Structure 1
Amino acid sequence: MAQNANDLPEQATLFEGAAPSAPAKSPRTRAAELNRLLNTYAYQYYALDDPQVTDAEFDRLLRELQAIEEVHPELVTPDSYTQRVGGYVSEQFEPVRHAQRMYSIDDAMNLEELDEWLARTDEALGSTPEHPVAYTCELKIDGLGVALTYRDAQFVRAATRGDGTTGENVTANVLTIGDIPHALARAGLARVADGGLGQSVEVRGEVYMPKHSFVRLNEDADAAGREPFANPRNAAAGSLRQKDPKVTAHRDLETFIYAVADEAPLAVTTQWQFLQWLRDCGFNVNPNAARCTSAREVHEFCANALAHREDLDYDIDGVVVKVDSFDGQAALGFTARAPRWAIAFKFPPEEKRTVLREIRVQVGRTGVLTPVAEFDPVLVAGSTIARATLHNIDEVRRKNVRVGDTIVVHKAGDVIPEVVGPVLELRPEGSVDWEMPSACPSCGSPVIREEGEVAYRCVSIDCPAQATERLIHWGSRNAMDIDGLGDEIVSRMVEQGLLTDVADFYDKLTEEALSEVSCGRQTVDGDDIVVGKTIASKVMAQVNESRGRGLARVLFGLGIRHVGANVARALATHFRSMQALMTAAPEDIAAIDGVGPKIAASVHEFFSVKKNVAVVERLREAGVVLEEEVEEPDAPQTLAGLTFVLTGTLQNYKRTEAAKLLEAMGAKCTGSVSKKTSYVIAGEAAGSKLTKAEQLGVPVLDESALEQILTTGQVPAL
């Protein structure tokens, strides 16, 4: 089963002949841009379970930032992404502070980088031929990190990784996972101090969804008209964060446990011994692991894992190599975000060649034109793909692809189809650069590209393609949250004339008409499969329920350009009614914190279109709530205009509780420190936010000052 290291595929390299890049930005400007991108993408991945870029692209951006900071150490700030652990803590669950910080792991993108790390580690630990450093190699599971706490040998709590320091309490959901032991087995307790009595042990691992369960879950979603999950990792994360544990219980989640917060109570001295201890305790431990004492053995394990990854019923994206000795791990320690004693060797994506037949333009709900590559179907990473987005004209130019090219494709993150680039030596004679059309392919209206923007956009509000995407967006989770309203069903309803705008959901669509909508599939006899009465009834119940979602969701659902969920909430909180917002002057809208003139102009322009106003009026007549209930503050607003950041551990309050009390007095509480921050309230073990406050000269208060503020409503003099 072993495979020679030389058999590992080479990592993808840049293709020759790419278009020249734009003028280089200054290191400071590029570092700031990279930090913004990394934080945005991390939030989408960890908090929303909705990744917008591939793992490879995220890693590329992070490594670029690390390279800039290595050359320009003055650009390293406490809030740089290189100084933090990936992850976010949702407000949906009770926060849990981990016994010890849960770190990220640095990546090796090829064998050369892996060997460099092995050589550095061997040197640091004094490896010799007679006494080589030993490493434990384990598969890198593509799931959701979790920490399990046992007290007196009994399971008491489960938490997600969160931001590494604080996670989300998901105990009720984890209890539904069948392979989690509710008590540590006797064989394992024999190696715990005092037999486990009086001891608290926090073990760590990964919650994942088996491939067969993922297929079944998406088949059920497809049959019900729901949007399918993008990949098993997203499915596992979404399942573990369900408010109702009964939903989690039906998602067939499993675990692999492989780490401990503090090994002190355990009579083990190496990672290899620890894995056996986990098995003795009753945990599910991945059987694919090896103890290696040379780079050659590590290479062989990695090659073997790569060769057989498709044979597994779970997703892996690499191999984690750890120093086996706990003493060795302690000697090497940690960086700001990762242990020095571990590295993740990342697998390259499987690549195939095919022929690019067409670059077709797709029109989104905001009118953005997106080029999509259509190519001969090819089997990649277990499924057949025939199309992949090219994102925008700049990306087409950067990848230098043309119709007729033989292209290299892969699945980024083993999920998302992606064009890597052309095989230039096979390019047909006479091929020409692809150009964005000057007219919308859906409605024929002019296409524009505003200064400073990458995207080309159709300017017509009557564009049929935009209408379909707007209708799909209206029913999405963060908008009106109409469960069961999948993309395919909406598209079919548009084709059959049942929907033209969002008001049609409420004053035109009927259960009977919806039940007859074709699902786009046929029976073995060739008859169309329709939605049916059962699903139609459930969807219409959801439609009726959505009438009461409130103004903020309506504003987001309307798809107004530049108005995301947070801006929609700010507008709804300030104006409280659709009528007040529609009649507001642009400067009044722009004055709202977090809005500004660009968004204000977009909102004002949207409501200056008569057709849009007519749709809003129909929504009102159909009983859709166009107001926002805002609780009137009971306490005097003595802190209005002040912005607070809370950091560290407070003795008498949870940070979320303290923030709510401050906000009740008119304050604004945010999660990051800036020049606009009025005060930072620092508890014990305050970290980077305290450091940044001191750098920026932001006043810092302790918990006694917080007590005084909450008692008097006034900030004490410093």
Structure 2
Amino acid sequence: MTDHSIQQRIDQLVEQIRYHDRLYYQDAAPEISDLQYDQLLAELVGLEQDHPEFAASDSPTQRVGGDVVEHLVSVEHRAPMLSIDNTYSRTELRAAMQRIEKSLAPSLAEGDAVVWVMEYKIDGVAGSIRYEDGHLALALTRGNGVLGDDITHNVRTIRDLPLRLETEHPPAVAELRGEIYMTDADLADLNVRQAEAGAEPYKNTRNVTAGTIRLLDPKIAAARKLRFFCHGSGELMGVDANNHMEFLDWVRRMGVPATPNVVRLESIEEALDAVAKLEEGMPDLPFEVDGIVFKIDSFAQRETLGVRSKSPRWVIAYKFERYEATTRLEAIEVQVGKTGTITPVAYLTPVDIAGTTVSRASLHNADEIERLDVRVGDLVVVEKAGKIIPKVVRVEKHLRTDELPVYEFPTACPECAEPLTRDEGGVYIRCTNPLCPAQLRQRLVYFGSRAGMDIDGLGEEVVDLLLQRNLVASFADLYRLDTDTLAELTWPRQRKGKADEMINVQFGRKNAENLVAGIDASRTRGLARVLASISIRHVGPRVAKLITAKYWTLAQLQAATAEEIASIHEIGERIAESLTGFLHSNHGGQVLADLQSAGVVLSEPEPQVTAVDQDNLPLAGKIVVATGTLSHYTRDQIKARIEELGGRAASSVSKNTDFLIAGEKAGSKRNKAESLGVEVISEDEFRARYESL
């Protein structure tokens, strides 16, 4: 090979390996096997050894670890690397955020708003990675905030960190701060190697990360597969970003992994409401988190707030204790959801975690089982953080003494035996049989719930009883139930105080009358409520309301094309295709026809104004928030009245709010409105202005 062809091949290999590193470590979507990757790397190592003149300082071969350093050197941070103040309850968090906003309020210009960002608090080791002219030049631990240990030799082995930023025009300096961490799956694999070597296994990802990053031999660090998330910055020269979200977007474009699932929020109330949603996603994460962080989005506002001696004034953490225990996985069973989703569940030897007995934990999906390599009979680490449902964190593979069979995800539905299919481009596997009895049960439970048709008395136990007695096989069958039949039903119950004794309990006439009355009352909930209750994928209450505002009868809706429905603001193709697919399927058509024949109203009141008239309504284009206790309206009634007048009823106050209706005990939303200069009116004033129209 000529020098030119050797250089070309090295360049080609470098680009291929960088590409596959990004797919594997950042996108979790590898295209080649580990063996194929190792072959590419081995070829590059061989070429660079034979032709060192062509080996670049940022070549992927530099990640395997260089020479051992004699000791760690302390280096001064260009800008102090501060810690974060913590809170441990929603009350403390609210108070801290209110203090921050109060401090910022005097400096805000008219029309300015305080915007928050919310992100996971990764449970790893804080690190600062400095790029100069696009090349990784220095990496430090936090240390005491002023001095940190030089860990560049180990950080260069982190494969999801580029040794050179992915840009033709790199900034002069970009100091990226974030969290060095290890995934739960990589810890499990490391502990297998520890056991094989006769060494003690590591207890958690944070401890092993903290120890690894300070090792003197980078070859050991390279073998432990550490990773990095950027969530902040130190010194920046030549980086164009005015706020946190813009900065994270820039970080991603540079090829650096940014902290995931960051949410932008326009008020404290909105932020607190969003905590639960971020918590819900925690069991699916492949890494450990020990809290949620809230930051002011605007860099200018951060500058105004400044810093204390140990922490910035513009950030606060909501931390929660993590509790874990080791127990044995006794079985894996799958459950079928209302839209056919097949969810694997781990059945565990009961173990006490944070004062509660845990015997089950969701395994989420087939990919999660494969990632964990979890097998029946394994000892597993189960975690419960805050109020989160139990999560299988990892498998103690080094304690696996027997040859346990790999779990094979079912290919047929466990309830109806129909073939299962995987969502295109997704992780969920589904039963697509609309007549599946397991789906029917879940759909009936949801149909009767408050979020569905709000049928008092139609809970899981009653649904099970009705199905066992073959009294219902569809939504419409509920409307055909009669008091006499229900009153005579019996089912076995445990005798109070005697765990081993069962008795038959009669449903009774009073319960029967109440249930029939609740079912009958739901007939007139309207088309939007029905669409949101019958488990059409991607169609929830808000989507159904938006669609039925344009197509307020079933006939109109059935005549609309997917393209026409997709053109409705906030709907889009995926929702439209799901809805029209249901409407024109044999199953969907039958469901709606049966409900109609059972006397269920499948229409909404016809709008009383045209689209042109809508623009002339008193609250057209205005955003209105109602808060506190109102004398003349329920919460639903005031929302409906705002919308009748052409406005949008919002749940939180922001700079875009036009006015706030304040009832008794208005509280924080009133304070927020006043701080933003949003008009606040009483309920009586609202009635005086608008009820005569």
Q: Provide TM-score, normalisation by structure 2.
A: 0.50
Matching of residues 343-382 of structure 1 within 5 Å: 346-349=320-323, 351-382=324-355
The structure-2 alpha-carbon separation of the partners of 1:405 and 1:564, relative to structure 1 and needing over 3 Å to count, comes to same
Structure 1 contact 409–419 (Cα < 8 Å) conserved: yes
**Unpaired segments of 5 or more residues in structure 1?**
1-10, 84-119, 125-331, 650-655, 693-699, 704-709, 712-718
1:17 match: 188
State the secondary structure of the residue aligned to 2:370.
helix
Deviations 1:210-230 (A, max 9, x none): xxxxxxxxxxxxxxxxxxxxx
Please state how far the C-alpha of 1:624 moved relative to its aligned partner: 1.3
2:418 match: 445
1:623 match: 599
State the secondary structure of the residue aligned to 2:188.
coil
Whole-angstrom distance in 2 between the partners of 1:54 and 1:369: 18
1:277 match: none
Alignment of 1:638 onto 2:598:
no
Alignment of 1:593 onto 2:569:
yes
Structure 1 contact 369–458 (Cα < 8 Å) conserved: yes
1:53 match: 280
Whole-angstrom distance in 1 between the partners of 2:387 and 2:678: 48
Please state how far the C-alpha of 1:336 moved relative to its aligned partner: 4.2
State the secondary structure of the residue aligned to 2:364.
coil
Alignment of 1:539 onto 2:518:
no
Please state how far the C-alpha of 1:547 moved relative to its aligned partner: 1.2
Whole-angstrom distance in 2 between the partners of 1:50 and 1:486: 24
State the secondary structure of the residue aligned to 1:444.
coil
Whole-angstrom distance in 2 between the partners of 1:619 and 1:539: 18
Matched positions, count: 426
Whole-angstrom distance in 2 between the partners of 1:541 and 1:648: 32
Structure 1 contact 55–412 (Cα < 8 Å) conserved: no
The structure-2 alpha-carbon separation of the partners of 1:398 and 1:638, relative to structure 1 and needing over 3 Å to count, comes to same
Whole-angstrom distance in 2 between the partners of 1:63 and 1:581: 45
Whole-angstrom distance in 1 between the partners of 2:514 and 2:575: 36
Q: 1:481 aligns with which of 448, 454, 457?
A: 454
Please state how far the C-alpha of 1:615 moved relative to its aligned partner: 2.5
2:401 match: 428
Please state how far the C-alpha of 1:447 moved relative to its aligned partner: 1.4
Please state how far the C-alpha of 1:490 moved relative to its aligned partner: 0.9
The structure-2 alpha-carbon separation of the partners of 1:32 and 1:540, relative to structure 1 and needing over 3 Å to count, comes to farther
Matching of residues 530-679 of structure 1 within 5 Å: 530-629=506-605, 632-633=608-609, 636-638=613-615, 643-644=621-622, 666=646
Whole-angstrom distance in 1 between the partners of 2:275 and 2:600: 27
Please state how far the C-alpha of 1:496 moved relative to its aligned partner: 2.4
Q: 1:570 is aligned with what amino acid? A: L
Q: 2:474 is aligned with what amino acid? A: D
Deviations 1:530-584 (A, max 9, x none): 4333323222221111112111111111110110111011122221122221232
Structure with higher Rg: it is 2
1:461 match: 434
Q: 1:406 is aligned with what amino acid? A: L
Alignment of 1:335 onto 2:309:
no
Whole-angstrom distance in 2 between the partners of 1:372 and 1:666: 47
The structure-2 alpha-carbon separation of the partners of 1:667 and 1:526, relative to structure 1 and needing over 3 Å to count, comes to closer
Whole-angstrom distance in 2 between the partners of 1:39 and 1:361: 40
Whole-angstrom distance in 2 between the partners of 1:64 and 1:633: 46
Please state how far the C-alpha of 1:335 moved relative to its aligned partner: 3.4
Q: 1:500 aligns with which of 473, 489, 505?
A: 473
Whole-angstrom distance in 2 between the partners of 1:660 and 1:535: 32
Whole-angstrom distance in 2 between the partners of 1:643 and 1:457: 41
1:8 match: none
Structure 1 contact 551–577 (Cα < 8 Å) conserved: yes
Q: 1:638 is aligned with what amino acid? A: D
Whole-angstrom distance in 2 between the partners of 1:393 and 1:37: 31
Please state how far the C-alpha of 1:625 moved relative to its aligned partner: 1.5
State the secondary structure of the residue aligned to 1:416.
coil
Q: 1:436 is aligned with what amino acid? A: F
Matching of residues 44-443 of structure 1 within 5 Å: 46=273, 53=280, 76-77=297-298, 335-336=313-314, 338=316, 346-349=320-323, 351-413=324-386, 416-443=389-416
Structure 1 contact 360–372 (Cα < 8 Å) conserved: yes
Q: Which moved more, 1:609-618 or 1:57-66?
A: 57-66
Deviations 1:624-649 (A, max 9, x none): 11111255249943369985557999
Structure 2 contact 626–638 (Cα < 8 Å) conserved: no
1:258 match: none
The structure-2 alpha-carbon separation of the partners of 1:379 and 1:669, relative to structure 1 and needing over 3 Å to count, comes to closer
1:240 match: none
Q: Which moved more, 1:356-365 or 1:571-580?
A: 571-580
Q: 2:503 aligns with which of 516, 527, 532?
A: 527
Please state how far the C-alpha of 1:672 moved relative to its aligned partner: 9.1
Alignment of 1:35 onto 2:262:
yes
Q: 2:392 is aligned with what amino acid? A: V
Whole-angstrom distance in 2 between the partners of 1:44 and 1:497: 46
Q: 2:485 aligns with which of 512, 525, 539?
A: 512
Please state how far the C-alpha of 1:18 moved relative to its aligned partner: 5.7
State the secondary structure of the residue aligned to 1:442.
coil
Whole-angstrom distance in 2 between the partners of 1:33 and 1:414: 21
Q: CA RMSD in A?
A: 5.4
Whole-angstrom distance in 2 between the partners of 1:48 and 1:481: 26
The structure-2 alpha-carbon separation of the partners of 1:45 and 1:520, relative to structure 1 and needing over 3 Å to count, comes to farther
The structure-2 alpha-carbon separation of the partners of 1:487 and 1:18, relative to structure 1 and needing over 3 Å to count, comes to farther
State the secondary structure of the residue aligned to 1:448.
strand
Q: 2:565 is aligned with what amino acid? A: I
2:633 match: none
Whole-angstrom distance in 2 between the partners of 1:506 and 1:388: 36
State the secondary structure of the residue aligned to 1:372.
strand
The structure-2 alpha-carbon separation of the partners of 1:370 and 1:662, relative to structure 1 and needing over 3 Å to count, comes to closer
Please state how far the C-alpha of 1:400 moved relative to its aligned partner: 3.6
Please state how far the C-alpha of 1:364 moved relative to its aligned partner: 0.3
1:284 match: none
The structure-2 alpha-carbon separation of the partners of 1:380 and 1:681, relative to structure 1 and needing over 3 Å to count, comes to closer
The structure-2 alpha-carbon separation of the partners of 1:581 and 1:32, relative to structure 1 and needing over 3 Å to count, comes to farther
Q: 1:448 is aligned with what amino acid? A: T
Whole-angstrom distance in 2 between the partners of 1:57 and 1:601: 28
Identity of aligned residues (%): 30
Whole-angstrom distance in 2 between the partners of 1:488 and 1:78: 53
Whole-angstrom distance in 2 between the partners of 1:529 and 1:659: 43
Please state how far the C-alpha of 1:689 moved relative to its aligned partner: 12
Please state how far the C-alpha of 1:376 moved relative to its aligned partner: 1.9
Q: 2:586 is aligned with what amino acid? A: K
Whole-angstrom distance in 2 between the partners of 1:497 and 1:41: 49
Whole-angstrom distance in 1 between the partners of 2:536 and 2:260: 26
Structure 1 contact 522–528 (Cα < 8 Å) conserved: no
Whole-angstrom distance in 2 between the partners of 1:475 and 1:648: 28
Deviations 1:408-433 (A, max 9, x none): 22444357333232222221332244
Whole-angstrom distance in 2 between the partners of 1:374 and 1:426: 19
Matching of residues 672-687 of structure 1 within 5 Å: none
Whole-angstrom distance in 2 between the partners of 1:460 and 1:419: 30
State the secondary structure of the residue aligned to 1:491.
helix
Please state how far the C-alpha of 1:461 moved relative to its aligned partner: 0.9
Q: 1:574 is aligned with what amino acid? A: K
Deviations 1:444-487 (A, max 9, x none): 22211123322111111111111111111100111101122221
Structure 1 contact 355–405 (Cα < 8 Å) conserved: yes
